[in-house]
Amino acid sequence: MAIIMDGKALAEKLRAGIKEECGRLPRRPALAVILVGEDPASQVYVRNKEKDCTECNIRSEGYRLDAHTSEDQLLGLIDVLNNNDLVDGILVQLPLPAQIDQEKIIHAIRPDKDVDAFHPFNVGKIVTGEAGFLPCTPAGVMELLREYDISASGKRCVVVGRSNIVGKPMALLLLRENGTVTVCHSKTADLAEETRRADILVSAVGKRGVITGDMVKDGAVVIDVAMNRDEAGKLCGDCVFDEVAEKASYITPVPGGVGPMTRLVLMQNTLAAAKAHLV
């Protein structure tokens, strides 16, 4: 039976260090969080991020905009925040309403305040291996691997999903740690054949039950990034947990695995932004 990788406990431990470091700065770091519309899941995510800010001694500025907010109105707010020297990080909660071009919004955030690491400038740094903000979920996964002394070096690493937010940067961070990386997606001819080769398997599809026990090699490390809901409305990941846990050596639960670490890295990025702005 797999060892459960406790992201909640690790995030709590690391938040204490962030709080201490924030307290030593000349001013509190500040994160502006923008929510457009009333999507229930997005509201929960934003509340959790604001709670994390409080626990880390980071000032949170919340902006709740109507679902009918225009693209120009949102761009105007971002411009104001870009030019506010007391704001270190800007986060626009995704997804956005249909009338707003998500890519245009991502491009509008100043790279030094892009604590989600979505801006092409920051993505380029990830590709080239330069220092800079790391994307929150993939970096959170890497923190978990380090905590459990799991090295990607020389390992076969399979990432299922190729989104710009998780799949692609996850592959890059594993490659940076000398993993041999395969990225699978909806056009992969035989998904199970690829996943059974993985020493480290990361699933970020967002489809309940896509990874079953027979798709996992004995002793593999399985990282379930997804946040889905079952018929009863209970949170679950991509993996059929009980089946996969029987085969894996380590596995992340949903919830309580990668999710808390994603938010933890957001706090780390906000602190890093503040330190850069205070130089």
Count of CB atoms situated within 10 Å of the CB of 129? 11
Tell me the pTM.
Answer: 0.95
pLDDT band at 119 (very low <50, low <70, confident <90, very high): very high
pLDDT at position 41 is 84
Q: Where in the chain is the domain with CATH 3.40.50.10860?
A: 26-110
pLDDT in tens, 21-33: 999 999 999 999 9
Q: Which of 274, 267, 275 is nearest to 88 (CA)?
A: 274
- What is the residue type of 233? G
Instruction: Quote the strand ranges of the chain, DSSP E.
Output: 3-4, 30-36, 59-65, 89-92, 156-160, 180-184, 200-203, 221-224, 228-229, 235-236, 250-251
Q: Where in the chain is the domain with CATH 3.40.50.720?
A: 136-258
pLDDT band at 15 (very low <50, low <70, confident <90, very high): very high
DSSP state of 239: B
Average pLDDT, the chain: 96
CATH annotation of 26-110: 3.40.50.10860
pLDDT at position 40 is 86
- What is the residue type of 176? R
For residue 39, pLDDT over 90 is answered with: no
CATH annotation of 136-258: 3.40.50.720
Q: Which residues are tagged catalytic?
A: 49, 93, 116
Alpha carbons 116 and 19: distance in angstroms, whole number = 19
* Residue 236 bridge partners (DSSP): 228
Angstrom CA distances, 64 to 74, 109, 194, stand at 11, 17, 43
pLDDT in tens, 68-105: 999 999 999 999 999 999 999 999 999 999 999 999 99
pLDDT band at 215 (very low <50, low <70, confident <90, very high): very high
Give me the mean pLDDT over the 165-172 stretch: 97
Give me the mean pLDDT over the 133-162 stretch: 98
Q: Could you give the count of Cα atoms lying within 13 Å of 171 in the half-sphere of its Cβ?
A: 16
Give me the mean pLDDT over the 32-49 stretch: 92
Give me the mean pLDDT over the 106-113 stretch: 98
CB of 271 closer than 8 Å to CB of 29: yes
- Cis status, amide bond into 26, omega within 30 of 0: no
